[in-house]
Amino acid sequence: MDAELDGLLLDLDGVLVTGGRPLPGVPEMLATVLASDVPLRILSNTTLVPRRFIVERFRSLGIPLTADMVLTPPAAAARWLHDQGAQAVALFVAPGTREEFAGLPLVDPEAESGADFVVVGDMGDEWSAPALNRALRLLVNGARLVALGMGRYWKAPDGLRLDTGAYVSALSFATGQEPVVIGKPAPAFFRLALEALGVPANRTAMVGDDIISDVGAAQQVGLKGILVKTGKFRPEDLERGVTPDWVVPDVTHVLPLLGLHTDLGHIPTTNE
């Protein structure tokens, strides 16, 4: 069949990996796409690990991904801050992601004024009242609030934990400042990825397991949205007001839409 798509954006968790391990057929699928001339980017909202970790995980499986093929909120925010001509950035992010901001001018870690941007990600257990108050003082003293996603909470091994959006909302409530959100579902995040692909939006698909922030959000910027039935997918998701362009059992079923063929017949598909 003729290709329906020329470019591909892939969510990471629930589409390519689950619990840190690749889903069945994913290494073969990625190898097939990388060997073709179909441009690919992985679009993940993770703010806990640097892209280097993600790339190394796939490289250990023989998949030659490079860091520039992975777009995360910290990486996108660093680029955005650079484009904004940021002069003094205050980071409230996990230690592991600080390296994504290398090359940007940072304020002193104790500073309470003098920042032009306050970047808030998931600091996990590093959050404290003094840290939040320092962010507040920097904002009141003139900094703009930048959010690395707006997740409400997530499920950690020990139970639910507040996510970035909860901390951003506290700072936004206190200061009355609307945050600049970088990450899914923000349209700018998808546009940045699309720019990197160099393929028209209507010939590019976003593949995700979140019908709202992957599929629906991608469709809002003119991309095709493909929902996989892996990861967090539940049948009720299809009644949430978003109609995916395609619903597929798993990400390996996207290959024919790209005009790519590979013998995946021997690979067990995930059971639903």
Q: Please give the residue ranges that form the binding site for Mg ion (CB under 5 A).
A: 11, 13-14, 209
Q: Which residue has the tokens 């798509």?
A: 5
Shortest Cβ distance from residue 143 to Mg ion (Å)? 31
Which of 29, 82, 30 lies closest to 192, judged by CA?
A: 82
Shortest Cβ distance from residue 145 to Mg ion (Å)? 25
Which helix H or strand E contains 264, and what residues bound it? none
Q: Record the tokens describing residue 202, joined without a space.
A: 């209507």
What φ, ψ does residue 139 adopt, rounded to 5°?
Answer: -70, -45
CA–CA distance, 42 with 69 (Å, rounded to integer): 6
Beta carbons of 209 and 228 less than 8 angstroms apart: yes
Nearer to Mg ion, 77 or 211 (CB): 211
Nearer to Mg ion, 52 or 232 (CB): 232
Say whether 229 sits in a helix, a strand or coil. Answer: coil
What φ, ψ does residue 180 adopt, rounded to 5°?
Answer: -85, 115
Nearer to Mg ion, 13 or 112 (CB): 13
Nearer to Mg ion, 89 or 213 (CB): 213
CA–CA distance, 208 with 85 (Å, rounded to integer): 33
Nearer to Mg ion, 115 or 219 (CB): 219
Largest CA distance in the chain: 60
Shortest Cβ distance from residue 126 to Mg ion (Å)? 24
Shortest Cβ distance from residue 4 to Mg ion (Å)? 22
Q: Record the tokens describing residue 54, joined without a space.
A: 């993600």
Nearer to Mg ion, 118 or 254 (CB): 254
User: In sequence order, which residues have a C-beta less than 8 Å from that of residue 188 and are 6 or more positions away?
Assistant: 80, 182
